Amino acid sequence: MSKLPSRLHHTAYVSKDLEATRHFYEDIIGLPLSACWTEIDHLFGKDRTYCHLFFDLADGSSLAFFQFADPEDQAEFGPELPPSPFRHVALKVDQETQDEIEKRIKDAGLKATYTLEHGYCRSVYVEDPDGMIVEFTRDDPRAAEGAPGRKAKAHAELKRWLAGDHSNNNPFRHDEEAA
């Protein structure tokens, strides 16, 4: 097997308003702004002028955001996507960090979009200024115990699903229904 990438370097999105984006990620969520690159590149047939912000995560990876100087470029590459809770970025946190972020969201006058107990993790979801959903996920310590078994069965579980067997295989989330 080939060597896996060591970690996420960055994930990138387009922003309508970089100051609103900076305020949300730095002042409310607490991710430090670590770089601001202003660039002109010949991309996709023309020169494009843009600003590119990076916000650091604890492992050295980043969330990155672009904004274009030319309104036509902004419209072409802009953040407008149909809203979907299934299109989001999920960031791993511990209990203390999740509690602190929930408090910061509330103190900023924002409301968490929703909180979901997956069973294997607890997730708090909030929308950023461009409507992108950001998830802050805290793993349940019991989930790590079964990770090797889930990895060994992952291909078989996918095959089962694709064949039409859509039965639940999450023993955490549905514990309350079995009781």
Residues paired with residue 88 on neighbouring β-strands, in sequence order: 133
Nearest to 64 by CA among 126, 28, 112, 15: 15
Inter-residue contact 57 to 90 (CB < 8 Å)? no
Is the domain spanning 1-80 CATH 3.10.180.10? The answer is yes
Q: What is the pLDDT of residue 174?
A: 56
Query: pLDDT tens digit string along 75-103?
Result: 888 877 766 777 789 899 999 999 999 99
Lowest mean pLDDT among 11-25, 74-88, 128-142, 151-165: 74-88
Percent of the chain with pLDDT over 90: 51
Q: What is the pLDDT of residue 11?
A: 92
Residues of the chain with CATH 3.10.180.10: 1-80
Q: What is the pLDDT of residue 1?
A: 59
Q: How confident is the model at residue 173 (pLDDT cuts 50, 70, 90)?
A: low
Inter-residue contact 155 to 161 (CB < 8 Å)? no
Query: pLDDT tens digit string along 97-149?
Result: 999 999 999 999 998 788 888 888 899 999 999 888 899 999 888 888 888 88
What tokens appear for 106 in the block? 């509330």
Does the pLDDT of residue 31 top 90, yes or no?
yes
Does the pLDDT of residue 38 top 90, yes or no?
yes
Burial class (CB in 10 A: 0-12, 13-18, 19+), 16: middle
The residue written with tokens 């409507």 in the block is 131
Percent of the chain with pLDDT over 70: 93
Report the alpha-carbon distance of residue 151 to residue 166 in Å, rounded. Answer: 19
Q: What does pLDDT average to over the chain?
A: 87
Does the pLDDT of residue 179 top 70, yes or no?
no
